[in-house]
A and B are shown apart, each in its own frame.
Chain A
Amino acid sequence: MRNRFPLWKNLMVAAVLILGIIYALPNFFGEDPSVQLSAVRAAKVDDRLKVQVQSLLDAAGLKAKAVEMADKRMLVRFGDTDSQLKASDILNERLGDAYTVALNLAPSTPSWLRAFGAKPMYLGLDLRGGVHFLLQVDMDAAVKQAEDRYAEDARSLLRENKIRYQSVEKQNGVIQVRLPDSNTLSQAQVLLKRELRGLQIDVKGSENLIEGRLSEVERREIKRFAVAQNITTLRNRVNELGVAEPVIQQQGEDRIVVQLPGVQDTARAKEILGATATLEFRLVDNEHPVPAEGEKAPLGSHLYRDRQNRPVLLERKIIVTGDQVVDAASGIDQQSGAPAVYVTLNSVGAKKMGDITRENVGRAMAVVYIENKSETKEVGGQKVTTKKKVEEVINIATIRDRFSKRFQITGLDSTEEARNLALLLRAGALAAPVDIVEERTVGPSMGKENIDRGIKSNGYGFVAIAVFMILYYRAFGVFSVLALGANVLLLVAVLSLLQATLTLPGLAGIALTVGMAIDANVLINERIREELRAGSTPHAAIHAGYERAFSTILDSNVTTFVAGIALFLLGAGPVRGFALVLCIGILTSMFSAVLVSRALVNFTYGRQRKLVKIAV
């Protein structure tokens, strides 16, 4: 008997290793200092921008390594940080309003590798510096606002339909409508049931009382909405910070994770995340001409700018504010098929809107977005906070008819635009308050230190193991070390392929996996020695060693795997990273210990028909 793999098995091992090299390789190429451009709302990232950027850079005598477009973003790579910073200043100055300009470190994976879809692992904040915020959305506030709205709606519905009522009150989250008699009770019941579908209506006939509670579905919907809105609002604000590759994600039912790599001014980040924004509806002033530069706006009007920075003259009088917007959804206009936004106002807003639009059919109405921001700057060691108000016309539409409680805004460029406007309207109306419940900041120097230390400890540990294994098991020690190397390679390749985020606990996970992976090799080598001692021939000993060790390896690894899965499912951020590495490491170590090392053994000894001695 001889130890030989069939051809397909050898080819498979070789193929896996080659794929491993391809996908692990991007991690060793380092990064290019780059400038990232992303469009603010209406602006587009296209070839025209590319030409514009090129000419701006040429004019400044800067040479970009590459200009790439991907994912609605443009990436301009440079050879050194010096030109990166210069370019960032120039681009910010020239394109700043329409684009967010951010400094970035882009992986410098060569294009032939990128053609395979190979990308390096993404470094976690603890390895490159930055801030991590966990924000809690105040759901109670969101639900309470919704209840207030429903109470208000119930009142105005009864009034509009001329149903007499004694009182509409809200008590402990229950909306109580008290009516004078059973006749009005049944009328009110029918009306409220039809109009307020989010409420679960109970009738107490004996007391002439209708009780409404938010239905479970509605409650869930309110919460889901509050989080979705806040995420959109936060995304817009983070864009203002000019952060490359921010992460804004929902976590659990009511929390939002915001990760800002590279951010050092955490005070400013907190201010921007916590800023408030509102909306206003105003009529366009068409009696006066738009004043020229430096000229004052006529009395009763105010000069605004739209997103393309064009001047727009609006009446000073506000029709309604965003606080009065109850709901907004995007959709398609039934008649024209154009994108539209459906807005619902509360009763006070609806009355005002109705009155004004009736008198102004044919005129244009604008939606103004207002954000109050505070900016902190360091002046001579002291932090000075200045309040800044940003006002911007985001939409102008013509009034075609009298608006009621529900109306639609058309005249939008695209469905995406409609969706954004709807979100902004909603966000302006009831972005539920958020609290920072967790903050983790890692300075950039600490991030570098963490990487160095993590890699160093991995390297030293690996070398120590390699030396011992080779001394102790000789040829089989060499096979084991090569298999261990293959394990690390495959582990890194799989993590890169999954685009996992590498963190410090992840690096610890790699180290621990390497330490544990050697177990499989030790089990095999010890088995082979044992078989030899028992008098087996070398070939038989190798064969039996691998065969018998396998079931032990399987059992012991499955138990660790179970632990890893539980860690992954229950762990928070950093623990999860560790668990992921542990689980993948177990899989790759089984492959490399069982197949890669066996392939090496077979390759070395398998050809010799009469094998007298093996070095183990």
Chain B
Amino acid sequence: MMLGAPEKMGSNNAAGAARRAWHPWVLMAGFLLVAIGWPLVGRDYQVYLSLSFFSYSIALLGLNLLFNYTGLISFGHALFIGIGGYTAAFMTHKYSLLNMELIILIAVFLSGLVALLIGLICVRYIKIYFAMLTLAFGMLFHSFLMKTYSLTGGDEGMHVMQPKLLGFDLSHMDKMSFFSGPYYYYNLVFFALASYLMWRIVHSHFGLCIQAIRDNPDKAEYLGISIRRYRLYAFVISGCFTGLGGALMAPVTGHMDPAMVFWTHSGDMVFMTLLGGFSNFFGPMLGSLVFIFLRDTVSSFTEYWRFIFGALLAALVILAPGGLMELLSRGWAAVGGLRSKEQGS
């Protein structure tokens, strides 16, 4: 996947652009194979970290449906992480409903419902106004969580209990082996399914419509596409994916608190998306992978990892707005160029 999406340029660049050397799904299959073997070779802690990668990747699939494909930047998407996560916290902690599939169903349903209600208002606006409105809704939810102490535990948050997977009670397993074993594969399946589903969505008729709206709303409207309705659909789908990511994330963190929905967390999510490359389907996944493991590495040798990440983000925005995917494809093209020179001489 990581080498993935930059289309391989052939020795003849013009012809190579149209020809994909590797189909993205071949790479995805390769990545999944590696991911399946990963718990066998990786240390438990690294496998545990990979769980964050899965849930953030799924959440970012949703965020990027808006950011890249619909051309709307949300600075409040942590709201849906919060809805998914707090659903898991409520059900396991308050009502002892430990069935993960039920948690996911309800989390996705609630996220979609909230996205529908908020979206009806938000999609009337674009650009900075859309960003601000989503930020405001995210912060509204944040202050709701902070103030309803008796319900949500306020700033102390709520615990998330270890869930049952497919009805199996795995509470006899210790935490680490649960996460690096059954829960890892459970997440991997959802990651694969969600990626496939989103791939189908963005390559469907609907996906083409929202991209047409992004590129030229006026033309799209002449073609008979209802701009607001399609933006609303995109917003609801986006919310559902991010809510799913949040629900899967909750047992891993084991705890939900309002910081999860603070606007800076939404900013971090946009950061991950940009880091990998938002204009590439697989970019946000690469972004979350690099973000999570890099943060872990950097914060192990300095407590000032935010400074380093801020500088990294600034450098990316200025020098490589296409993210790592763009850098990889530039590097790939440069290697291709060198090779064709060698052959020519």
Mutual binders A and B: no
Interface residues of A (CB under 8 A from B): none
